[in-house]
Amino acid sequence: MKVELKKIRRALIIRHKAIGDIILVTAFIRALKKALPWAEIDMVVEPMGVEVLRGNPNISNIIVYEKNRLKKAPLGVKIRDTTAFYAGLAGRKYDIVFDLWGNLRTALMSFLTGAKARVGFNFRGRKYFYNIVVKPDEPPKYNAFYHMDLLKAIGIPDDGGKTDFFLDKEDEKYAENFYSSINVQSGESVIGLNPAGTWITKRWPEYKFAQLADIIIGSFKGKKIVIVWGPGEKPMAEKILSLITADKSVVFLAPPTTLKQLGAVIARMDAFVSNDGAPNHLATALDVPGVTVFGPTNYKSWVPAGNARHAEVHSKLACAPCDKMACPTAIECMNGIEAMEVFLKLEALLEAVKKG
């Protein structure tokens, strides 16, 4: 099927969940908007994704899909609200829809929009819901580029792998007040640590983060450390603080934050050491130099290749990467990565950034 780009007035993107994944999709959104500056571009996300897109000038409308609420709702409410949701999509009369998630639910969602052009990957039975079917690349590549193949199928080039995350003045003021409260002066160096991870297998142990903090404090004079955390993650941050044996007066826990506020806190940092997850994608989008620690996930998919501001340390075990959320052993891929290895990568990163 040939798509006449000039005739597209409304486009829909479906990528409804996972904060980090939605951040990575912002490169796709920007490329689409650059090719169709006159078009309205909407995106379907679950409530968790709204804050990722808020303030993004390339998005016209954020359409919230309340899957979790609908799952728990009484049958009558579920039928009524689900029908209203799909009727609302159909009523927007999209010219083209891109399914970037590609499960049965989103494939059906794309079909029920009634869009003339429906673009998706050739995943098993889901491909029958699209009329522009694309075969994905097999080798791992940075995920910001992964979905660009759907654009190339209709003649739109990518716009690079730079991801976007937009802060407003209130978010920046919140971060400024926090740094003022811990006496971080303008121009003073801050290194961030993120011990969290959606899967337990993606978490470098707290005691390793504490060891890294000890090395940083002993090696970098004048730098302060901020440990970030999200909902339900504060105990991990507190554990790291309790295990640090060096001068704790330069180590601080971040305050409670929204996603935007967390972004503003990270944006002020000189470097960010993180497990694979949403916060490291935030740092990348904000162009904060970072070192990401990888075990079960493939660094080639989640770190921009060739970007000197974003480094990684990954397990050399034969079983890694496995992409498993549970491990039959003792998560050796993460436990086997030493603090000094991460520090040396951090030190080299800071030196490279300093040289420009």
12 and 132 housed in the same domain: yes
Of 152, 181, 216, the residue that ends a domain is 152
- What is the mean pLDDT of the segment spanning 72-80? 92
Closest CA to 269 of 180, 190, 156: 190
Number of domains, the chain: 2
- Confidence category of residue 249, pLDDT binned at 50, 70, 90: very high
241 and 114 housed in the same domain: no
What contacts 80, CB < 8 A, 6 or more positions away?
Answer: none
Residue 161: inside a domain? no
Average pLDDT over all residues of the chain: 94
Residue 336: inside a domain? yes
User: Who wins on pLDDT, 5 or 2?
Assistant: 5
Query: Tell me: the pLDDT tens digits for 188-219?
Result: 899 999 999 889 999 999 999 999 999 999 99
Residue 159: inside a domain? no
Task: Name the residue range of residue 210's domain.
Answer: 169-355
- Confidence category of residue 185, pLDDT binned at 50, 70, 90: confident
- Confidence category of residue 345, pLDDT binned at 50, 70, 90: very high
The answer to whether residues 27 and 285 touch, using CB atoms and an 8 Å cutoff, is: no
Cα distances (Å, whole numbers) of residue 317 to 164, 197, 295, 312, 336? 33, 20, 9, 15, 9
**pLDDT for res 11:** 98
What contacts 23, CB < 8 A, 6 or more positions away?
Answer: 52, 163, 165, 278, 281, 282, 284, 285
Residue 157: inside a domain? no
211 and 125 housed in the same domain: no
Q: What percent of the chain has pLDDT over 90?
A: 89
CA 252 to CA 213: how far, in whole Å? 11
CATH code at position 131: 3.40.50.2000
Of 127, 152, 177, the residue that ends a domain is 152
Tokens of 137: 């690349």
CA 166 to CA 171: how far, in whole Å? 10
- What is the mean pLDDT of the segment spanning 338-342? 97
298 and 180 housed in the same domain: yes
Residue 163: inside a domain? no
94 and 135 housed in the same domain: yes
Residue 160: inside a domain? no
Closest CA to 311 of 333, 282, 286, 280: 280
**pLDDT for res 356:** 76
**pLDDT for res 1:** 82
Cα distances (Å, whole numbers) of residue 277 to 31, 165, 199, 200? 24, 15, 9, 11
Query: Tell me: the pLDDT tens digits for 308-337?
Result: 899 999 999 999 999 999 998 889 999 999
Residue 208: inside a domain? yes
Exposed, middle or buried, 277 (CB in 10 Å: 0-12/13-18/19+)?
A: buried
Residue 255: inside a domain? yes
175 and 65 housed in the same domain: no
CA 169 to CA 158: how far, in whole Å? 30
265 and 145 housed in the same domain: no
Stated pTM of the model: 0.94
Closest CA to 101 of 159, 162, 143: 143
**pLDDT for res 221:** 87
Of 152, 179, 204, the residue that ends a domain is 152
